[in-house]
Amino acid sequence: MTYDLGGDRGTVVMPTYNEAANLPRMAELVLGLPIDGLHLKIVDDSSPDGTGRIAEELAEKYNWDGRRRMSVLHRTEKDGLGRAYVAGMSAALDEGAAYVVQMDADGSHPVEAVPRMLGTAVASGVGLVVGSRYVEGGSLDEEWGRHRVLLSRFANRYARTVLGTKIRDITAGFNLWSAATLRDVDLATLDSAGYSFQVELKFKAVRAGHSAVEIPIRFEERTEGVSKMSLSTQIESAVMPVRLRLRNRRG
């Protein structure tokens, strides 16, 4: 069965930095989904491994009959996951997307969950569907070492406690947003450069009155390539929940 977005368009925004080994497979999986009107937008920060060029070649391949299924946003330097998302999501909204999905390029997020996320958003009317590792039925790749599992769980619990939110996977990077929710948050006002973007955007959406639904997903270890998590992004992630909380108190 093919899911038909009707006149509405859905855009998967995928930031890439040195993901040449993963991108062709990811594009095939996303554009092979049984969803009419689904678009894939790559946001590449001039990856030295040629990911941007590969993305252009893939776009040419998938846009063969005059239909624009895939596009590439090139940025001049590595500027952080959060800023890449702000650029990609803003472009998707300008192009008329009704739904925007965030997804990593490294194979960690299960592409086959996208129709389920979309169905949940359409059926429930919520503005945010979180692909969650921490609700019943969700799981983490067993290849993740104990240290990393504990760190991820701690980061989540820490951000949830500081912000007082009910979302169980507040640091999740696999989410579906309605255009209305993203417009209400006003992407241009987000402060996060890196991974804390995930927490900041969810927090601001809920604070703006939108509700979230979490659906269980299995998070896989990246297929190829290396992690881009740096010390500065980890520090930003540790500080952001406290900053958001303090600002929210004052405002």
Ligand X SMILES: Nc1nc2c(ncn2[C@@H]2O[C@H](COP(=O)(O)OP(=O)(O)OP(=O)(O)O)[C@@H](O)[C@H]2O)c(=O)[nH]1
Residues in touch with Mg ion (CB under 5 A): 104, 106, 108, 222
Q: Which amino acid is at 155?
A: A
Contacted by 228, from ligand X, Mg ion, none: CB < 5 to 8 Å by type:
ligand X
User: Shortest approach of Mg ion to residue 138 CB, angstroms?
Assistant: 16
Contacted by 16, from ligand X, Mg ion, none: CB < 5 to 8 Å by type:
ligand X
How far apart, in whole angstroms, are the C-alpha atoms of residue 38 and residue 114? 10
Which residue number, 37 or 131, has a Cβ lying nearer to Mg ion? 131
Which residue number, 104 or 126, has a Cβ lying nearer to ligand X? 104
Instruction: Return the H-helix or E-strand segment holding 148.
Output: helix 146-163
Instruction: Return the H-helix or E-strand segment holding 15.
Output: strand 9-16
Instruction: Return the H-helix or E-strand segment holding 180.
Output: helix 179-185
Instruction: Read off the DSSP letter of residue 195.
Output: T
User: Shortest approach of ligand X to residue 72 CB, angstroms?
Assistant: 11
Residues in touch with ligand X (CB under 6 A): 15-17, 19, 43-45, 78-81, 84, 104-106, 108, 222, 227-229
How far apart, in whole angstroms, are the C-alpha atoms of residue 240 and residue 172? 15
User: Shortest approach of ligand X to residue 219 CB, angstroms?
Assistant: 8
User: Shortest approach of ligand X to residue 1 CB, angstroms?
Assistant: 29
How far apart, in whole angstroms, are the C-alpha atoms of residue 23 and residue 40? 11
